[in-house]
């Protein structure tokens, strides 16, 4: 069993990457190369920080005011076994903890995947699937392009499929060292470049991590 995850970034609280207030884990490494990816720094499998699954489980269980976690990246299903173990460890202490994930792979392909991928899929409540396609960019809820689907797995989040399918926007965060970072799915293409230019003009440097669209 894999006992560590390669992590690009974590966020304690977020309201724009899934239902309610949730933690976010961005993993490092993705085999896909979607044109227009807004988090290209998470694509290489080199880099990231090795974090023990047990340590991440303790962190998530300590966030008493969040209802679940969103797994992004990078490609979560490239570290499926460790993420499945993480969700099991959290739910052993918090059985109602929700789980959502993004994947550049289609749901049908994940269902036919190796045992680790099927194990992670079984533990999810909500999935956004499919690669980001820049030519089909849309201002959609939690998704970057019109080909991507929001799929409820089980009943926990089934109700969100009937809610308005409009962009949830983005959130800016100020870190303890004064640096800025952001989370969310940009409602317009080219968002990251434009934001970085505007901040640079004002003397701010943006942390190089955000969720990728696909």
CA atoms within 13 A on the CB side of 204: 18
- The pLDDT score that the predictor gives to residue 41 is 85
Q: Are strands 126-129 and 98-102 parallel, antiparallel or unpaired?
A: parallel
Is the distance from CB of 118 to CB of 125 less than 8 angstroms? no
Q: How far is CA 179 from CA 11, 29, 89, 169, in A?
A: 14, 24, 32, 20
Own/partner contacts of 103-109, CB < 8 Å, gap of 24 or more, are 103/75, 103/76, 103/77, 103/127, 103/128, 103/129, 103/130, 104/30, 104/32, 104/34, 104/75, 104/130, 104/131, 104/132, 104/214, 105/75, 105/77, 105/129, 105/130, 106/130, 107/149, 107/151
- The pLDDT score that the predictor gives to residue 1 is 64
Q: How far is CA 180 from CA 29, 146, 196, 205, in A?
A: 23, 29, 10, 7
Task: State pTM to two decimals.
Answer: 0.90
Reference 142, options 110, 111, 103; nearest CA is 103
- 105 alpha-carbon distance from chain centroid: 14
Reference 41, options 50, 30, 51; nearest CA is 30
From CA 26, how far away is CA 9, in angstroms rounded?
5
Helix/strand/coil for 9: strand
Q: Which residues of the chain have pLDDT under 50?
A: 209-214
Is the distance from CB of 70 to CB of 23 less than 8 angstroms? yes
Reference 180, options 190, 172, 169, 191; nearest CA is 172
- The pLDDT score that the predictor gives to residue 201 is 81
- The pLDDT score that the predictor gives to residue 186 is 87
Is the distance from CB of 25 to CB of 10 less than 8 angstroms? yes
């Amino acid at each position: 069993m894999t006992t560590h995850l390669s992590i690009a970034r974590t966020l304690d609280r977020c309201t724009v990457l899934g239902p309610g207030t949730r933690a976010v884990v961005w993993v490092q490494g993705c085999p896909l190369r979607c044109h227009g990816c807004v988090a290209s720094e998470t694509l290489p499998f080199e880099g990231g920080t090795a974090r023990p699954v047990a340590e991440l489980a303790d962190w998530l269980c300590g966030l008493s005011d969040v209802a679940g976690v969103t797994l992004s990246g990078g490609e979560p299903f490239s570290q499926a076994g460790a993420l499945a173990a993480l969700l099991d460890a959290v739910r052993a202490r918090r059985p109602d903890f929700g789980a959502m994930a993004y994947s550049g792979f289609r749901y049908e392909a994940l269902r036919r995947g190796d045992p680790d991928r099927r194990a992670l899929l079984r533990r999810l409540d909500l999935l956004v699937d499919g690669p980001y396609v820049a030519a089909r960019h849309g201002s959609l809820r939690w998704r970057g392009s019109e080909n991507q689907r929001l799929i409820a797995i089980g009943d926990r989040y089934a109700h969100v499929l009937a809610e308005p399918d409009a962009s949830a926007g983005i959130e800016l965060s100020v870190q303890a060292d004064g640096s800025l970072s952001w989370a969310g799915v940009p409602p317009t293409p080219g968002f990251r470049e434009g934001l970085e230019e505007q901040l640079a003009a004002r003397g701010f440097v943006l942390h190089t991590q955000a969720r990728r669209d696909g």
